[in-house]
Amino acid sequence: MIKQFTLILLFKLLFINNIYAYNLENNCEKAIQGNNFKAATDEAIKLSKDNAFDGEFCLGKVLVNENKLDDGIKQFEKSEKLAQHPADQLLAIMFKGLAYKEKNDLNQAFNVFNTGYETAKLGNSKFVQFERRFLIQMGNIQETLKKHEDAYESYAKSLKASSNDEERAESYDKLARSAAHQKYYDRAREYSLKGSVLYKKTGYLGEYAELTLLKAEYEVLDDAYDLAMNTLEELEKLCIDAGGEYYLVKTYIQLHKLSKNNKDAYLAKATDVANRIGAKDLLNDI
């Protein structure tokens, strides 16, 4: 939970600094990043005296990180009303939805995200990046609730709202998984290829590897076994050349699962590398 609430802004999930007024460099945020929630609370109270929205919003993040979800939700509702900038209002709505999601109140979380999406649309494309993020969250909940067709539609809309290759990569990734859940393996292959190419292009090599592993699985399910083996052999070579031993283990595990031949050899390779890098947990699902 702490990772979700402290990194969501820093990991380019809530977009570019110049569309909202909230200051990520305030002392409350710094204390949260250091997991010092007592200091963060004190800083939020101080901040509220000069900037009501920033202080109340950051206090909401503190409460959620302390697992005081109901109190955090109330804080986000309070900060939503205090927002002077439309994007700050959307920020508060987003985090309120995330808090409901952490509570596992998925229906309420979905309603909040949907409200955020409809609110963002009123900005006539000014807040299209918020639209996309709300759509991703809505799709994630729909997938969890096994509403795969609805999730697919949400992810398709998120793709249309994407403004750069990083965003398009994530949307293609989501679409691939959703298509696979509906057994549309030809679409899953197409989207996983597009997503993996964009992940690699933008330097998200971990995400590239994860989606490529899935791509091979979709190829097998779509009766393209030889292509799947080629996909995994190329990933194996990339991992070896780049020193990516963690994903090399995962590649050997996938080869063990999907290959018609040499299953024991691939398992031995996976075990050897996993033991060497201290990642024996990767072998648990075999």
Q: Are 46 and 55 in contact (CB under 8 A)?
A: yes
User: CA–CA separation, 203 vs 270, rounded Å?
Assistant: 25
User: CA–CA separation, 124 vs 104, rounded Å?
Assistant: 32
**Number of other CB atoms surrounding residue 40 within 10 Å:** 26
Which letter, b or e, does each residue of 177-209 get, where b requires 16 or more Cβ atoms within 10 Å of its Cβ?
Answer: bbbbeeebbebbbbbbbbbbbbbbebebeebbb
Using CA of residue 79, residue 81, residue 85, residue 88, what is the dihedral sign?
positive
1-121 fold: 1.25.40
Q: Are 211 and 176 in contact (CB under 8 A)?
A: yes
pTM of the model: 0.90
Q: Are 130 and 90 in contact (CB under 8 A)?
A: yes
Residue 156, sorted as left (phi over 0), alpha (psi -120 to 50) or beta, turns out to be alpha
Q: What is the pLDDT along the chain (286 residues), one digit of tens a residue?
A: 444 444 444 334 444 445 556 888 899 999 999 999 999 999 999 999 999 999 999 999 999 999 999 999 999 999 999 999 998 999 999 999 999 999 999 999 999 999 999 999 998 788 998 999 999 999 999 999 999 999 999 999 999 999 999 999 999 999 999 999 999 999 999 999 999 999 999 999 999 999 999 999 999 999 999 999 999 999 999 999 999 999 999 999 999 999 999 999 999 999 999 999 999 999 998 8
Q: Are 102 and 72 in contact (CB under 8 A)?
A: no
User: What is the end-to-end Cα distance of the chain in Å, rounded?
Assistant: 28
